[in-house]
Amino acid sequence: MSRYFTISILLLFVGYFGVSQEEERTVANDSIPLSVNDTLPKNEKYGLRLGVDLHRPVTGLVDSDFFSVEIVGDYRISRKFFIAAEAGTVDRTKQDDQFNYTTNGSYLRAGFDYNAYENWLGMQNMIYAGMRVGYSAHSQTLNSYRIFNPDQTFNEGDTVITEGPLIREYDGLSGIWVEAVFGIKAELFNNLFMGFSFRVKNLVSNTEAEEFKNLYIPGFNKVNDFSNFGGGFNYTISYLIPIYKKR
């Protein structure tokens, strides 16, 4: 396996050699000029690539309190640039140390990817970096909680409250964030791609309930107490629907 990784990294450096040809023009002595057309075939496929994230459904198999589906797509606009988007929905219940809550909602992330990888002729793999802007619309329900009291004279710390003014659904919540994306997509079979990406996210705006802060935002993932940064990962299988070809 390491042999192939080495080759992949070498391909990055070698890729710039030997793909393009220059247009040649010869002017003959007679009055009819000869021009030679570029014989390089149109090999770059442009089209719409659609797929699904597999990481979320697999997590859902492992964790029965988590259900999420994400569809991904991108559309090539130049040799190196793609506009890209992901959309998904989340139904997640989490038992934290002091309370139990459910997040329900959907999200959309849109932006672009830049393919830094120089493909050999006929190949269309990607090693890319990109950015997204994300938006979520969701609700958060507090299901149960214990009261935090450093003084446990009355042993109330284990009592779980399941009814009361705090136990309800808080809806109309949303979040807006930006992401930096780094990922790989490899073409495995004809137009079928598999890939994964890592994301660094920063929460820009947060519409939350006064009584119950946003702890988890669909598409952004866990919101920390101490910072606006978050992270994410997806792992996709997608299919390129070719529309046209260019050089």
Partner 1 sequence: MTTRRQDTMKKNVLLFLLIAGIASPMLLSSCQRDDICSEDPTTPNLVVGFFDFVNQDEFNRVTNLRVTEVNDDLESTLITESTVSVDSILLPLRTFTSSTRYVMVRNAGFDADGNEQGDIDTLTFNYTVEERFISRGCGVTANFTLNGIDVTTDDDNWIVTTEIVNPVIEDETEIHVKIFHN
Question: Site residues (CB under 8 A) for partner 1?
Answer: 1, 4, 7, 54-55, 58-59, 62-63, 96-99, 142, 145-151, 153-154, 156, 159, 161, 164-166, 186, 188-189, 194-196, 211-213, 215, 222-225, 233, 235
Q: What is the distance between the alpha carbons of residues 160 and 92, in angstroms, rounded to a whole number? A: 20
Q: What is the distance between the alpha carbons of residues 70 and 176, in angstroms, rounded to a whole number? A: 18
Burial track 13-43 (b if 16+ CB lie within 10 A, e otherwise): eeeeeeeeeeeeeeeeeeeeeeeeeeeeeee
At closest approach, how far in Å is the CB of 153 from partner 1? Answer: 5
Nearest to 195 by CA among 73, 106, 80, 102: 73
At closest approach, how far in Å is the CB of 177 from partner 1? Answer: 18
- For partner 1, the closer of residues 37 and 153 by Cβ is 153
- For partner 1, the closer of residues 161 and 204 by Cβ is 161
At closest approach, how far in Å is the CB of 240 from partner 1? Answer: 15
- For partner 1, the closer of residues 80 and 168 by Cβ is 168
Nearest to 129 by CA among 191, 185, 48, 192: 185
At closest approach, how far in Å is the CB of 149 from partner 1? Answer: 4
3-class state of residue 58 by DSSP: helix
- For partner 1, the closer of residues 36 and 233 by Cβ is 233
- For partner 1, the closer of residues 28 and 61 by Cβ is 61
Q: What is the distance between the alpha carbons of residues 86 and 74, in angstroms, rounded to a whole number? A: 9
At closest approach, how far in Å is the CB of 24 from partner 1? Answer: 28
At closest approach, how far in Å is the CB of 166 from partner 1? Answer: 6
**CA–CA distances in Å: residue 182 to residues 67, 127, 129:** 25, 8, 4
Amino acid at 122: G
- For partner 1, the closer of residues 78 and 159 by Cβ is 159
